[in-house]
């Protein structure tokens, strides 16, 4: 399966799934899948979050509390789950606030190895 | 119940709970409860995270994706759940990576109104 197909599978199998992007910490997207009725600009969101993620990564390293695995940023409208893929890349999944957040987390974790494999 | 008692209840009712702190975005703690065998400095962690949270709050406002409710930052050693209480305060709960993350999220959400009531 291609990177885009895996992202599409994740988004379409999570209730309320809006879109998913694989991106570098430098804010440059590798690939994405966004559902047609997306109410948010998922790529813009991922770009804005990449700066925040770099800051979180730095803080986690300073505190020596292990390797960063997953970040969630939830508002009353949107749940954003970020899973690190390696030192350079992460995958972002955006889900409506009434969507299935738990399944989103589960599918990102489950598919992270397959996403990595697409990139080697 | 006092602020500290509510924090203690949360920490002691979550498997793997390490500590909880109520803190301002300026990094100044209001109150905390840390279990005796804590393997991390929970207050230092909350102070370091307050700068990151301010940055996330700003990003969420720029993107206009609703009001910030909850952030999770998970590493292979530690899960940190942050719930906003109001414009100025948030509560942080640190849980071991093999602890009950879901119950931690649930108890923070459940107790957020009681924590706010202690402060008015």
- Please give the ipTM for the structure prediction: 0.91
pLDDT tier at A39, thresholds 50, 70, 90 = confident
Q: Given a cut of 90, is residue A68 above it in pLDDT?
A: yes
B42-73 confidence digits (pLDDT tens): 888 888 999 899 999 999 999 999 999 999 99
Q: Given a cut of 90, is residue A18 above it in pLDDT?
A: yes
Displacement of CA A66 from its chain's centroid (Å):
20
**CATH: 3.40.50.1100, 3.40.50.880, 3.30.450.30, 3.10.580.10. Which one for B3-117?**
3.30.450.30
Please tell me the distance from the alpha carbon of residue B43 to that of residue B33, in angstroms, as a whole number. Answer: 9
CB contact under 8 A, B56 and A69: no
For residue A92, the surrounding DSSP H or E stretch is strand A89-96
- Sort out which chain A residues have CB atoms less than 8 A from B44's CB and list them: 63
Q: Given a cut of 90, is residue B90 above it in pLDDT?
A: yes
Return the pLDDT at B116. Answer: 92
CB contact under 8 A, B71 and A75: no
- What is the homologous superfamily of the domain A3-118 according to CATH? Dynein light chain 2a, cytoplasmic (3.30.450.30)
Return the pLDDT at B82. Answer: 96
CB contact under 8 A, A69 and B77: no
Q: Given a cut of 90, is residue B85 above it in pLDDT?
A: yes
Maximal C-alpha separation, chain B: 41
Please tell me the distance from the alpha carbon of residue B37 to that of residue B97, in angstroms, as a whole number. Answer: 15
CA A56, A77, A5, A120: dihedral to nearest 10 degrees?
A: 0
Return the pLDDT at A1. Answer: 87
CB contact under 8 A, B76 and A60: no
- pLDDT mean across residues, chain A: 93
pLDDT tier at A36, thresholds 50, 70, 90 = confident
- Sort out which chain A residues have CB atoms less than 8 A from B56's CB and list them: 52, 73
For the sheet containing A68-75, what is the strand order? Answer: A29-34, A17-24, A89-96, A78-84, A68-75, B68-75, B78-84, B89-96, B17-24, B29-34
Q: Given a cut of 90, is residue A43 above it in pLDDT?
A: no
A87-110: average pLDDT: 95
Maximal C-alpha separation, chain A: 41
Q: Which residue among B44, B59, B70 places its CB closest to the CB of A52?
A: B59
CA B27, B28, B33, B36: dihedral to nearest 10 degrees?
A: 70
Q: Which of A52-61, A102-111, B12-21, B35-44 has the lowest mean pLDDT?
A: B35-44
């Amino acid at each position: 399966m291609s990177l885009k197909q895996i992202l599409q599978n994740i988004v379409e199998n999570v209730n309320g799934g809006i879109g998913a992007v694989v991106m570098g910490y430098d804010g440059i997207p590798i690939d994405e899948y966004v559902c047609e009725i997306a109410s948010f600009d998922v790529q813009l969101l991922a770009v804005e979050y990449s700066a925040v993620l770099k800051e979180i990564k730095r803080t986690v390293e300073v505190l020596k509390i292990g390797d960063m695995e997953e970040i969630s940023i939830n508002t009353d409208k949107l749940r954003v789950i970020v899973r690190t893929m390696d030192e350079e890349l992460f995958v972002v999944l955006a889900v409506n606030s009434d969507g299935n957040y738990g399944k989103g987390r589960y599918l990102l974790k489950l598919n992270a190895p397959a996403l990595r494999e697409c990139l080697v």
